[in-house]
A and B are shown apart, each in its own frame.
Chain A
C-alpha cells in the first residue's frame, strides 16, 4: 500500500467512525421510544429522520463508501478488508478519549492483536 492508499483508508475510517458516533448520539435521543406496534415503528422512523445527526450520518456513510471505492483501485479486496479492521482501533480510541468510556485490558489486548494482524496482512 502506498501513501495515497493509506490516505484514502484514513479518510474512509474517519468517515466510518464519525458515522458510528453520529448514529450512536442520535440513537441515544430515541431510547425512550416504544417499539411494540407498527404505529410505534413508523413513529420511531419518523422521529429518527427528524434528527439532523441522522442526516449527517447518512452523508458520512456516502463519504465512507466513496473513499472505500477509491481505495479499492489501489489494493486487492482481501488486503482492503483486513486493513479496514483498523477502524476498531479508531473506535476504541474515540471511546476512551472522546466518550471517556472505561477501557478494559481485554480491549487493549484485542487492539494489539488487530495491529499485529494488519501488520502481517500488509507484510504478506
Chain B
C-alpha cells in the first residue's frame, strides 16, 4: 500500500503542532527543574551537587518524558513529510518557547530580541532548504 508523501493534511499539521508544543513544554520543564535545584551558576565545584539536585526534581523527569513523546511525534512527522518541509515548520519553537517563557516563567523579552527570533527563523529556514530537491518537485 502506498501513501502520498509530503501532503500537508490536517492530521500532519496537528502532529507538527503537537511536536512543537511538546518540545516547548519539555524545555519549560527543564528550565523549571534547573530553577528548583537552587543553584544560581554552575561551576566545577558545584557541578556534581547540581546534577544530583537536578535528578531529584520531578520536573526533570516530566521534561524527559515529554521529550520522549516529542521524539516519537517527530518520527511520525518525518515518516510522512520530507525533512526540508518539516524542519522549517518546526522552527516555530523559536517563537513558541520565548512566548511561553514570558507567560509561565515571567521572563522579559524586548522587541529587539523578538526581531532576533524572526531573523533566526528566516536563517534556519534558508539553511535547511534543499535546492536540489525543491527543483525536482513538479
Contacts and interface: CB of A to CB of B under 8 A. Distances in A.
Interface of A: 4, 8, 66, 68-70, 72-74, 76-79, 81-82, 85, 88, 92, 104, 106-107, 109-124
A124 B93 CA distance: 19
A116 B122 CA distance: 11
Interface string B79-104: 00000000000000110011001100
Secondary structure of the B contact surface, majority rule: helix
Contact of B126 (A70, A73, A107): A107
A120 B112 CA distance: 6
Contacts of B114: 124
A106 B132 CA distance: 12
Nearest to B96: A81
Given A109-B126, A120-B113, A73 B120 contact: no
B119 interface: yes
Nearest to A86: B120
B54 A119 contact: no
Contacts of A92: 127
B138 interface: no
B123 interface: yes
B127 A124 contact: no
Contact of B124 (A79, A88, A119, A120): A88
Given A73-B42, A107-B126, 4 more contacts: A77-B107, A106-B126, A122-B116, A124-B115
